[in-house]
Each structure stands twice: as structure tokens, then as C-alpha cells.
Amino acid sequence: MDTPSQSIRDLALRLLELEAEDRAADDAKGAERVCAKLHTSLTRFAGVDGFKALTRRSLALARSEIPVLRGVSLDEGGCFVGLGDLAAKAVNDGGAALITHFLWLLVTFVGEPIALRLLREAWPEINIDE
């Protein structure tokens, strides 16, 4: 299985930074807010079960890179919870890994054009194509 490209990693970091800039909250909430926005856009497209499948798999992939993410779980809707219980570096690295793998899986399963359309729906205020 391939690994996420640098452009996917960069996009994940952009989304995390955007959510951190939009609200004065700790870094753990950034990944949770990204997940919540993705939830809204993707459940209209793939349903709750499709969204949960992507978050569950992205969590498993991220845990293989960052084992401390074993303390992170998914809420009823399929979003990440428990990042706030991790040390600061683990929160930053873990959040980036979770969102990177989620975006990579999304592009892998639905293709880049549809994935970008869904991201534009979630973040209409930014240019996703940069």
C-alpha cells in the first residue's frame, strides 16, 4: 500500500492551521474541528457509515506511525476524541497523521476531483487547489 504524498500532508497541515487560527483553543481541538467539518460534508456524500469507515481506518494507520494514539477513539459520529489527553508533541504529530491519512484515504477511494469538491464544501473560504 502506498503512503500519503507530501501534497496530502501539506493540505492536512493547512487545514489544521486554519482551524487553529479560526478559534482560540488548544491544538487537540484542531484535529477534532477538522474531523467535524469533514463529517458534515462527507456524510452527505457517503453516509455516516462511509465516514466512520474512513475515520476508523485513518486512526488505525496513524496508530501504526504514532503508537500513543492508542488513547484516541471515535465518538458516535465517527470523529476523533481523546487527543487532548496526549502530550503536546503527540497531539501535533497525531493530529497531523490522523488528518493526513483521512485525506489520503478519501482521495484513494473517491478520486482527487471528488475529494477536492468535498473539501471545498467544508472550507469554501480557502483555495484548496493551492
The answer, as to whether pTM is greater than 0.85, is yes
Please report the pLDDT score of residue 24 as a whole number: 44
pLDDT digit string (tens) for 70-90?
A: 989 999 989 988 887 887 777
Q: Which segment, 12-26, 67-81, 82-96, is predicted with the most confidence on average?
A: 67-81
Place of cell 503527540: 90
Please report the pLDDT score of residue 1 as a whole number: 53
Is pLDDT at 121 greater than 80 in this prediction?
Answer: yes
Where in 13-123 does DSSP place strands (E)? 73-74, 80-81
pLDDT digit string (tens) for 30-45?
A: 888 899 899 988 999 9
Q: In this structure, what DSSP letter does residue 16 have? A: H
